[in-house]
Amino acid sequence: MARNKYDIDESLETEFSFEQLKRLGTYIKPHRKEMIITILIMMLSSALGMLTPIILKNIMDDYIPNKNIRGVVFISIALLIINLVIVINLRIKISITTKLGQSIIHEIRSDIFNHLQELPFSYYDDRPHGKIQVRVVNYVNSLSDLLSNGIVNTITDLFSLIFIVAFMLFLNIRLTLICLCGLPLLMILIFVIKKRQRVAWQISSNKSSNLNAYIAESINGIRVTQSFVRERENIEIFNNLSSNYSSAWMNAVKYNFLLWPAIDNISTLTTAAIYVLGVAWIDQGISSITVGVLIAFTGYIGRFWAPINTLASFYNSLLTAISYLERIFETIDEPVLVKDIEGATTMPDIKGKVEFKDVTFSYDEDAMILNGIDFTANVGESYAIVGPTGAGKSTIINLISRFYNIDSGQILIDGVDINTVTIKSLRKQMGVMLQDSFIFSGTIMDNIRYGNREASNEEVIRAAKTVCAHDFIMGLENGYDTEVNERGSRLSAGQRQLISFARALLADPKILILDEATSSIDTETEILLQEGLAKLLKNRTSFIIAHRLSTIKNSSCIMYIDGGQIMEMGTHDELMAKKGYYHELYMSQYSFLNDDEIKVEESIF
């Protein structure tokens, strides 16, 4: 798919609507008490600030002409107190809005992360993980300023604007109308750039997503990069993606920077007009305009355009945030394709009988992966699945755990359709070890206990001994308390697989699923491992995909899969006697050995 590449821009599948802003409001609603308190505090500060030009008018028109020094001192003290109250209110506002913004950010990020935990494998198969990560971290962080200050400042400035216009009208209607003449010009500019600005920020977010995706991919593949001396080529790709992001960002902020210079220019023009006309009207002896009125009015002009500038900044922030909100809500709205059906019941204690009845499955409509799979694995049986690459082996075991939904047919465990039970109750009774032996950052003990959080230290150690991991673990500097890095980079591939094996076994499952579980383990260790597994597999139904066919020759049944169908199935001896697909695959693996050497190899296992 196109969006599965770092150099392809993502496309939104839904158009933006103001319903998404309302949806953002649902995160703000629980904090409305703090929001209201903050707004009231700022409105008080705004109202107090409106008094200053009126006070200056009285000083210019009354106190100074009448040489009322005592009155000037009194007014000065009052102005000092007013400014102190405004400063204290601003400090309270900053404290409340910072906590408020971060609380909302945390809630949005939690919703995204929680939803990501429920999305099926297919979601992660379709897109680079870096493009997912950028939404959880960068895009949500980009909303911080909008939520912390933008909303409160906007509401406060709207009320301030009302107060200012009221005071200006009180002082002089003519001058007020002159001041308001600049607003239509500003509205026209906003209308012209609105659509272009939103598109520009969408493009910027796409380029940021591409860059983040490539960085994540490069870090994960750094060993391959250095092994094949690809550093220079990777740097060129990075520089190209970074340059594209830089250009897109500069183009987007260009529209942001159009507003405040426009506001400053309009403000300057209207102020100049008021000075010119105001002075002319004073000379003409118009009684309603005095020096004090003109000074007070010019004081209000600055206050009039300041909140408009803030509103324009909020508008810019809003358009920027919209491009991120679209991505955030798109992620949260991503359908959970694999989920509990309505009325799903808890899976009873599993005994281990597994049935596939005419199961078909495809990742997309154009590529059928499994077509009419039928088999029954009885309790305690071990089923090995072999076949060429891409035949559908891993798909079968993924369907048993309901990592994907089947297209048609049924999968039954102990006669219960797994589609009718809760996913959690199903997977809790399975032990799964996939090809990717993922190790989390933390201690060895924590990684093994990941499959059973209630397990004691003794049970963890017992599981490690069963899979022959105990000796190498005790050879580490702190034994089971040794800290390992993300993805277990300090451990060898074989060691990571042994830990993952212990993790799966510790869950004490009735159904055990092993996908290439021994592919990175040396032959000597695998011999010991097979001895430990012989006891473990007893009375457990197991499904095994193994690279070395000699390791599965004792399985209860071996299925050869090709083209999404079971081409043949039976025991090792039965299939070898048929001299069919399995026989050909088995012999090709040992074509370099003579008959005596094959017997020696087989006798090991």
- pLDDT per residue as tens digits for the range 290-326: 777 777 777 777 777 777 777 777 776 777 777 778 7
Classify 384 as helix, strand or coil: strand
C-alpha distance from residue 303 to each of 85, 167, 262, 573 (Å): 18, 11, 16, 92
Claim to verify: residue 318 and residue 378 sit in the same structural domain: no
pLDDT for position 601: 47
Type of residue found at 356? F
Domain with 408, as residue range(s), is 341-429+541-605
pLDDT for position 2: 40
Residue that terminates a domain, selected from 332, 363, 389: 332
Contacts of residue 238, defined as CB under 8 A and 6 or more positions apart, other chains included, come to: 211, 214, 215, 218
Q: Which residue has the higher pLDDT, 130 or 286?
A: 130
Claim to verify: residue 356 and residue 416 sit in the same structural domain: yes
pLDDT for position 97: 80
pLDDT for position 376: 93
Assign 7 a pLDDT band (cuts: 50, 70, 90): low
Claim to verify: residue 104 and residue 26 sit in the same structural domain: yes
Q: Are 571 and 396 in contact (CB under 8 A)?
A: no
pLDDT for position 33: 86
Residue that terminates a domain, selected from 297, 332, 367: 332
pLDDT for position 604: 40
Output the six-digit token pair for 249: 């960002």
**Tally: H helices and E strands in the chain:** 23, 12
- pLDDT tens-digit map of 342-393: 889 999 999 999 999 999 998 877 778 898 999 999 998 999 999 888 888 8
pLDDT for position 526: 64
Per the structure, how many domains does the chain have? 2
Q: Which residue has the higher pLDDT, 567 or 279?
A: 567
Inside any domain, residue 307: yes
pLDDT for position 175: 82
Does the predicted TM-score (pTM) go above 0.75?
no
Residue that terminates a domain, selected from 332, 355, 384: 332
- Residue in 600, 10, 55, 24 with CA at minimum distance from that of residue 322: 24
Output the six-digit token pair for 161: 């604007």
Claim to verify: residue 317 and residue 188 sit in the same structural domain: yes
pLDDT for position 531: 61
Claim to verify: residue 108 and residue 155 sit in the same structural domain: yes
Inside any domain, residue 469: no
Inside any domain, residue 67: yes
Inside any domain, residue 270: yes
Angle 352-534-585 from CA coordinates, rounded to 5°: 85
Lowest model confidence (mean pLDDT) among 192-206, 317-331, 584-598: 584-598
Assign 118 a pLDDT band (cuts: 50, 70, 90): confident
Is residue 23's pLDDT more than 80? Answer: yes
Claim to verify: residue 175 and residue 192 sit in the same structural domain: yes
In what order do the strands lie in the sheet containing 511-515?
A: 430-433, 511-515, 541-545, 382-386, 557-562, 565-570
CATH of the domain at 346: 3.40.50.300
Claim to verify: residue 62 and residue 23 sit in the same structural domain: yes
Output the six-digit token pair for 183: 């607003």
Inside any domain, residue 478: no
Distance CA 429, CA 155 (A): 54
pLDDT for position 605: 41
Inside any domain, residue 462: no
Q: Are 216 and 133 in contact (CB under 8 A)?
A: yes
Claim to verify: residue 383 and residue 403 sit in the same structural domain: yes
Inside any domain, residue 149: yes
The phi, psi pair for 356, rounded to 5°, reads: -105, 125
Claim to verify: residue 139 and residue 208 sit in the same structural domain: yes
Claim to verify: residue 319 and residue 353 sit in the same structural domain: no
Claim to verify: residue 194 and residue 233 sit in the same structural domain: yes
Q: Which residue has the higher pLDDT, 509 or 493?
A: 509
Inside any domain, residue 441: no
Query: What letter does residue 60 receive in the DSSP assignment?
Result: I
pLDDT for position 411: 95
Q: Are 144 and 16 in contact (CB under 8 A)?
A: no
Contacts of residue 441, defined as CB under 8 A and 6 or more positions apart, other chains included, come to: 483, 484, 485, 486
Claim to verify: residue 192 and residue 123 sit in the same structural domain: yes
CATH of the domain at 68: 1.20.1560.10
Assign 574 a pLDDT band (cuts: 50, 70, 90): very high
C-alpha distance from residue 318 to each of 30, 308, 324, 437 (Å): 21, 15, 10, 43
